[in-house]
Amino acid sequence: MKCPYCGFLNDKVVDSREREDGQQIRRRRECLKCGKRWTTYEEIEEKPLLVIKKDGREELFSREKLFNGIHKACHKRPVTTEQIFAMIEQIEQELRQGYEKKILSSEIGERLITRLHKLDEIAYVRYASVYRQFKDAEEFQQELEKIRRRMNESKGNNG
């Protein structure tokens, strides 16, 4: 690595420390010519994940965009920011493990909607009303009926 002080191309690593999550290594280096030290960081280069939208456009996967959608759905619900971030982390990890470079936005939406349904049914209905694009109150009512049936079934299984 090139010394930032004198430009010499040889150095030695004096100290290496892994970050707690194992995603990054901090290295202290010393120039073999001038003796000055500097720090470098080494981390895994992640492939960009492209999301294919309904209209065929492609855009980079955005944790922020996913967070904003979930946060709106969970507004004034007993869902913590930590739970939202954990959900996003799980989804992103699954996507990176299961797909090369491109993923349909509908696949992301389905993964999210499944998790929201388990986490908070009101947040689920809010998100579903936008994601599934209910055309009228009848479609919305049908979705609520499905939720009621599942709730009654789960109460019957627990009691």
DSSP codes joined into one string, 21-69 = TSSEEEEEEEETTT--EEEEEEE--PPPPEEE-TTS-EEE--HHHHHHH
Domain that holds residue 18: 11-43
Same domain, 92 and 70: yes
CB 123 within 8 A of CB 114: no
Same domain, 85 and 122: yes
Q: Say whether pLDDT at 68 is over 60.
A: yes
More confident residue, 11 or 122: 11
Q: Angle at Cα 79 formed by Cα 75 and Cα 83, nearest 5°?
A: 125
Q: Is 17 helix (H, G, I), strand (E, B) or coil?
A: strand
Residue 101 lies in a domain: yes
β-strand 24-31 against 11-18: which pairing, if any?
antiparallel
Q: Per-residue pLDDT tens for 81-98?
A: 999 999 998 998 888 887
Same domain, 17 and 83: no
Q: Say whether pLDDT at 158 is over 60.
A: no
Q: Say whether pLDDT at 135 is over 90.
A: no
Same domain, 17 and 58: no
Same domain, 89 and 39: no
Same domain, 56 and 105: yes
**pLDDT computed for residue 31 by the predictor:** 97
Same domain, 127 and 76: yes
Q: Specify the number of domains making up the chain.
A: 2
Average pLDDT over residues 131-149: 74
Residue 89 lies in a domain: yes
Same domain, 62 and 103: yes
Same domain, 18 and 65: no
Question: What is the C-alpha separation between 16 and 40, in angstroms, rounded?
Answer: 10
Q: Is the pTM of this model over 0.75?
A: no
Question: What is the C-alpha separation between 156 and 120, in angstroms, rounded?
Answer: 20
